[in-house]
Copies of this chain bind each other. A is one copy, B any other.
Amino acid sequence: MGRWKPDARGRLEQAAMELYNDKGFDATTVAEIAARAEVTERTFYRHFADKREVLFQPNALADVLAHATATAAGPLAPLEVIAHALTEAAPVFEERAELVRQRQAVIAANPELQERELAKLASLASTLADALRERGLEATTATLAAEIGIAAFKVAFERWTDGPGRHTLARQIRETMDDATTHLTAPAGDGPRPPSGPAS
């Protein structure tokens, strides 16, 4: 029925994601993943060190971010370099949108996996900061720009996974980075909440 038949690795990822969502990450075994993917356990271990690595694969993302940051034509504002790099990285997620959404649901359901995910995002921030310094940016500015970039990416990513099909991830990233430079510094119609009055 599907338009494409994934290879063993792809089938293992798909099977793992389905089981993690159905049974929970902790309750799923490698034997079950292999069985659903119709491969042997040995094949699983040829592709992944353990069941957690299916969720946290070393992927192309860090390389794409570093390369896009290094090669963006300058001079650019630091946040513009970051917006460019994140936008360039968007296809890494868009190409496998369904798997990415399933992965997010698995991680959202497990505090331990959430901590691992935060650590991975922190490591991406370091990669971005290093690449900005290589361009000649001062260290603190580079670090701050990279941290803001990852923060904006998290927001854009949530907007994208929450409203599938509405906008591309690349567009969500652009809009979120624009927010960061406009809405955030303009006075808002906000204020302290008035103290609660007597019940009406």
A residues engaging B (CB < 8 A)?
70-81, 111, 114-116, 118-119, 122, 132, 134-137, 140-141, 143-145, 147-148, 150-152, 154-155, 159, 176, 179-181, 183-193
Query: SS class of chain A's interface: helix, strand, loop or mixed?
Result: helix
Given A151-B148, A185-B79, A188-B77, the answer on whether A140 and B159 have CB atoms closer than 8 Å is yes
**Distance between Cα atoms of A169 and B94 in the complex (Å):** 41
- This chain: how many copies in the complex? 2
Given A115-B118, A155-B143, A185-B79, the answer on whether A136 and B179 have CB atoms closer than 8 Å is no
CB pair B190 A76 closer than 8 Å: yes
Contacts of A151 in B (CB 8 A): 144, 147-148, 150-151
**Distance between Cα atoms of A148 and B155 in the complex (Å):** 11
**Distance between Cα atoms of A115 and B193 in the complex (Å):** 35
CB pair A187 B118 closer than 8 Å: no
A144 — nearest CB in chain B belongs to which residue? B155
